[in-house]
Amino acid sequence: MKIAFNDLWRPSGTIGRGTYALVGAIGFVIKHNLDRLVATLGFHRPWGVFNYWVPLRDVARVTQLHGNEPAFLGTLLVLALPFVWLGVALTMKRLRDARLPLSLVALFFVPFLNLLFFLLLCLVPTRDAAAGKPKNPKPSFLSQVIPKDPLGSAVTSLLVTVPIGFGMALLGSQLLVNYGWGLFVALPFAVGFTAVLIFEFHQPHRLASGIGVACLATALLGLALLALAFEGAFCLIMAIPLAMPLAIMGGVCAHSLMGWRRYRNDVPAFMAVMLLFVPGVQWIEHMAAVSPAVYVVHTHLDIKAPPKKVWQQVVAFSQIPPPKEWMFRAGIAYPIQAQMIGTGVGAERHCVFSTGAFVEPIQVWDEPHLLKFTVTSNPAPMEEWTPYSHIEPPHLHGFLLSEGGQFLLTPLPNGGTRLEGTTWYQHGLWPTTYWRWWSDAIIHRIHLRVLRHIRDEVENQKQITRETS
């Protein structure tokens, strides 16, 4: 099919999958080399393919931009606009040619998922609008191995999807050591999508049944990781609120797709795309190796005692009674006591947790106002729930690290003290917004456990002094 250059920029009309793939590849080559010239010659920055996901390697937020970084990103944005328009126009033509809803063009702007979307558009054949059938349809071998009854197709779906998902989970977590978009977003979506794709291969079922199969496949994948000692129960529980909606989303997409009878012969192609999509995202994350941002958590508590009395407990507090909080009883590491070796700047504080000790060299010793320290040694952040005596998943080491902390003592008008604990930390889990919700909550609870113990110790000593005087 011949198409004029001017027609490429118009969203009207249609375009075949071969032309779509060819023009898309040429457009990417031109844009990549243009961006590379601008980055290297204009801003003296290295530029590679993975920079499209992480343009600035050490910056996680727009508010952290400095120097010529705003101008650099602004230039890239201006250069990208004509290519974005071309991509949207071509995608609308291709959707119309494949007789797919034009609203799917929104996936063009969704990171990572758009890779799967582009690949699908390069595979889905042209649809004959008059006959409503694909040209040159090819029968699928799956029709011989997938039972036609709902129970049999559901069981087959689970038998195929769970082992494949298990292998992809091991690839990301054990081999590539990534705990990010590939593992927590792409994988559950792909599991839900593939499960429903197989379940509804012969005939469409109720949406609720498809969602049930997608959720069951995802749950069985989690149980397999737990049963074979690759993950602990608590981390799987934390992942459920993220994974299940994505699995449902994948199932809904597959259900909508299988509602079009003409696409059932393309199930092998869709499955092949999923098999490439998840490892592809995981490999991109592994190669990009994005540096985690530093986050901060503040927690404060008022104590009925002057700063001088509070300071004595801040520097080194006695053993804290066993925890009552559910998350600490579930395996999250919790503070037990603090010991100080030496005094003043250069002294070393050891904060003993249930999994080991944080080693904290003192940076600022401003008695009785501020105690600030760095952290040179981090114990494991938790002990995993597991049927086995002990497991060591990679995320227990190097994925949640404390960078430093401080205690700030502020005198109050009533003679008391406002004690504020602060922790600066990094976590290498993505999506960061979701996992930061958990990490901030955990660190806040750790702060409260220490601050409450200091408050109780100081106020009890004050009460004893009053009684004996």
Span 372-398, pLDDT tens digits: 999 999 999 998 888 777 788 888 888
Helix, strand or coil for residue 426? Answer: strand
The ranges of the chain annotated as CATH 3.30.530.20 are 294-468
Q: Which of 7-11, 25-29, 132-136, 386-390 has the highest mean pLDDT?
A: 25-29
pLDDT-based confidence at residue 406 (cuts at 50, 70, 90)? very high
61, pLDDT greater than 50: no
Question: What is the residue-averaged pLDDT of the chain?
Answer: 84
Q: What percent of the chain has pLDDT over 90?
A: 36
- Lowest-pLDDT range, 222-236, 396-410, 455-469? 455-469
145, pLDDT greater than 80: no
- Lowest-pLDDT range, 69-83, 152-166, 347-361? 69-83
Spatial distance between the Cα atoms of 265 and 263, rounded to a whole number of angstroms:
5
459, pLDDT greater than 70: yes
- Lowest-pLDDT range, 85-89, 136-140, 345-349, 421-425? 136-140
pLDDT-based confidence at residue 99 (cuts at 50, 70, 90)? confident
Q: What is the pLDDT averaged over residues 340-358? A: 93
DSSP characters over 184-222: IIIHHHHHHHHHHHHHTSSS---HHHHHHHHHHHHHHHH
pLDDT-based confidence at residue 63 (cuts at 50, 70, 90)? very low
- Give the residues across from 451 on adjacent strands: none
**Six token digits for residue 350:** 């050891």
Maximum Cα interatomic distance, the chain, rounded to a whole number of Å: 99
Q: Distance between alpha carbon 184 and the CA centroid of its chain, in Å?
A: 6
317, pLDDT greater than 50: yes
Q: Would you state the pLDDT for residue 384?
A: 84
Q: Would you state the pLDDT for residue 78?
A: 83
Under CATH, which number does the domain 294-468 receive? Answer: 3.30.530.20
Helix, strand or coil for residue 407? Answer: strand
pTM for the whole structure: 0.71
Q: Please check whether residue 456 is in contact with residue 304, taking contact to mean a CB–CB distance below 8 angstroms.
A: no
